[in-house]
A and B are shown apart, each in its own frame.
Chain A
Amino acid sequence: MSSRWSEFKASLEPKVKEWKFMLKRLSESPLSIAGVAILSAFVVIAVFAPILAPPQGDDPFMIPRDWRILRVGVLEPIPPTQDHIFGTIENQYDLYYGCIWGTITAFRIGILVVAGALLIGLLIGMGAGYYGGITGEALMRFTDIIIAFPGLVLSMALTIALPNVMQVNLSLFICVFFALLSLTVLILRGNPRITAISGALFVITLLSYLYFPLMVNMSITNLDKVMVALVLVGWPGYARVIRGEVLRVRSEDYIEAARASGCSDLRIIMKHIIPNSVYPVLIMASLDTGAIVLSAAALSFLGLGADQGYADWGQIINMSQHWIGVTNVPLTEYLHAFLIPGFLIFMFVLAWNLLGDAVRDVLDPMIRRR
């Protein structure tokens, strides 16, 4: 037991060393420290949002409105007062509340979209890279087609094309999932026990699909549609990079050695190819969060994203933009309504980009050890 433990520790040592080296290089660059500091501030805001701005309705993401002002018939944004420390925006939504809860929305959009795009990109890139052949080539040509479109335009088209209510046959979904799982494990000559269990589950869900289908009505908000659209537009980039990495690793000698010693495909992929190819891609992709939030904010700004009153920075700017340049009103009257949320988007994206730049420098083997 203890010998295995020390073996395990020894096997981790180069990785730990690598991480320590990376962190040291990162902490030497002032830009990355600035990025981390700004991001930590946003994390604190997101975590303490319920304390910083206590929710008032059922849905904490809906910004509360000031009905006392609304009843007088005032619709336009009001500059900061005691009740509303950031002021209000059009239709008397509280700006401070929107900004605080908008931080959670930003993190949620960024993390979910990157995770979704990475997952699809990883599966397809891995498959195309490891097996190659006609399927791999076809998959890569498919990514070419998606990349041929400007991202914003394609996500715009997809956002309006996706339906708002979807009737999902849950049984079919689970059934297909288990079918694919057992097929994959079977083809990759993995553990026969897993094949048996997932095969049994496949039969059960198939019966359920045929006789008692579980139907779920999913209603999708506009913001969810934006997120789905961004995932569908975003994965090909990752798939390409991962495929390239897998192709590079696949021809290494140690893969040949593993195959010669009788490893199954599944084991080779899990133990050798994934650890040696995906980490840099994972790190780089996760740093795309800022760019994703920027695209989502742009779609919200166009009016395709979150519904009115939802705590989303881009949405707030969309509501505030037409108050700029209203005649006979001093600029300061409405300035807060777009200045504050826009500044938050800017800082959020800037923090991710600063961090991404620094990490890119550290990861680049050409310049790192100089």
Chain B
Amino acid sequence: MGLVTYVVRRLLLMIPVLVGVSVLIFAISMLFSPYQRATLYVRNPQALNPHTIEGIITKYNLNGSMFSQYFSWISEVFHGSLGWSTTVRQPVTTALLERFPATFEIVLIAAPVIVILGIWLGVQSAVHRNTLIDHGTRTIAILGWSLPSFWFGILLVSFFYVYLGWLPRGGRLSSPIQAFVTSASFVRYTGSNIIDGILNGQLWVTGDAILHVLLPATVIIVIDIAIIIRVMRSSMLEVLNKSYIIAAKAKGLTQKQVINKHARRNALIPTITISGLIIGGLITGLVITETVFAIGGLGRWAAQAALNIDMPAVLGFAMFTAVVFLISNLIVDVLYAYIDPRIRLA
């Protein structure tokens, strides 16, 4: 099977899952009252008065059969409208697009560290199996895996902000810089302060944005690196037991050559899969971290919306996360098939 056929087949296989995701979201929305469900069809704030809501309920037959409701809802979704988020007084789609860059920024800083450092630590741990290095790395991994992210975040804030005063409490930018960024002389290309600062040639904006991202990124790195370390360690251990490693050693290659060229490359494959899934999960899964650090990204919006029972926002966010997750799955599978041709034949 060629790579193109494989990609097309994977894309087609995604359709039923996407339909299933939409059905599940719709089923959850049916647990709410028709009045709450009506906010799924609202596109501007004027429609929020009781009279118009009644109109929406009759227009879309929200007391009627589930089938007709599903189809009117899904056609609304295909027209790019996910309803009205009362928490931020914006349409859900606008809120999603506006808040995405803030979340993306943190992932941009954290993801390379998680993947590269995680792989390195995993290799070290496997190569020095059952030595002090191995035990130390494994202990760090299991500690990180057990840390409650919200608690760790608060600890970092109280140490680096309250006690040392080195880093900011939270948010995305310091207030004078925030004012500059929103002024007319600063062009917003992407909405991400780090990238826009570079594009505008204002590196101090980028610097300030990075300072604000450091602590939240640390939280994610410490917690998520554990998985990479564990996967890399176990696949490396498996590879090191293979006979071609013994052959390579017998050939007289140095330890460094054997590990870097023969063992690590082959052990990387499962780690690539996990890395893709982690990054996909990170883009969507910063609910706790963003709340602790008061960063106006997707996650914090979703958390506030859940507290206010702002149903369109929570469900819209949930659907968005599922789609992002599925797409990152797809990218990983394609990468995987590209790297390892055996996959395509299966």
A residues with a Cβ closer than 8 A to B are 31, 141-142, 144-146, 148-150, 152-154, 156-163, 290, 294, 297-298, 301-304, 314, 317, 321, 324-325, 331, 335, 338-339, 342, 345-346, 349-350, 353-354, 357
Contact = CB atoms under 8 A, between A and B. Distances in A.
A148 B322 CA distance: 5
Contacts of A321: 150, 154, 292
Interface string B270-313: 00000000000100110110011000000000110011010100
B287 A153 contact: yes
Interface string B117-155: 000000000000000000000000011011111110011
Contacts of A354: 142
B162 interface: yes
B17 A145 contact: yes
Given A149-B321, A153-B321, A303 B148 contact: no
A303 B307 contact: yes
B307 A302 contact: yes
B80 to A, nearest CB: 21
B150 A153 contact: no
Contacts of A298: 148-150, 287-288
B41 interface: no
A338 B292 CA distance: 13
Nearest to B319: A149
Nearest to A154: B318
B150 A160 contact: no
B307 A149 contact: no
A362 B29 CA distance: 44
A150 B145 contact: no
Contacts of A317: 148, 150-151, 154
A324 B322 CA distance: 34
B287 A145 contact: no
A326 B291 CA distance: 17
Contacts of A156: 287, 302-303, 306, 314, 318
17 contacts: A141-B17, A145-B20, A148-B322, A150-B281, A153-B318, A156-B318, A160-B309, A302-B291, A302-B307, A317-B148, A317-B150, A331-B163, A338-B154, A339-B155, A342-B154, A346-B148, A354-B142
Given A146-B24, A294-B148, A321-B154, 13 more contacts: A149-B24, A149-B325, A156-B303, A156-B306, A157-B28, A301-B288, A314-B150, A317-B154, A324-B154, A331-B163, A339-B155, A345-B151, A354-B142
A331 B322 CA distance: 40
Contacts of A353: 142, 145-146
B148 A161 contact: no
B17 A349 contact: no
A336 B307 CA distance: 26
B158 interface: yes
A338 B285 CA distance: 23
B334 interface: no
Interface in B313-331: 314-315, 317-318, 321-322, 325-326
A144 B20 contact: yes
Interface string B50-84: 00000000000000000000000000000000000
A160 B24 CA distance: 15
B157 to A, nearest CB: 6
A162 B314 CA distance: 14
A156 B155 CA distance: 24
Contact of A350 (B142, B150, B284, B291): B142
A314 B288 CA distance: 12
Contacts of B28: 157-158, 161
Nearest to B147: A346
B146 A350 contact: yes
B32 interface: yes
Of B23, B161, B315, B318, which is in contact with the most chain A CB atoms at under 10 Å from its CB? B318
Given A157-B315, A331-B158, A148 B169 contact: no
A302 B315 CA distance: 17
Nearest to B230: A357
Of B154, B161, B285, B307, which is in contact with the most chain A CB atoms at under 10 Å from its CB? B154
Nearest to B159: A331
A342 B32 CA distance: 34
A14 to B, nearest CB: 28
Contacts of B29: 161
Contacts of B317: 153
B134 to A, nearest CB: 12
Given A150-B284, A158-B28, A349-B148, A141 B158 contact: no
B31 interface: yes
Nearest to A145: B20
A161 B32 contact: yes
B210 interface: no
B47 interface: no
A161 B31 contact: yes
B72 to A, nearest CB: 20
Given A148-B322, A325-B157, A342-B151, A304 B306 contact: yes
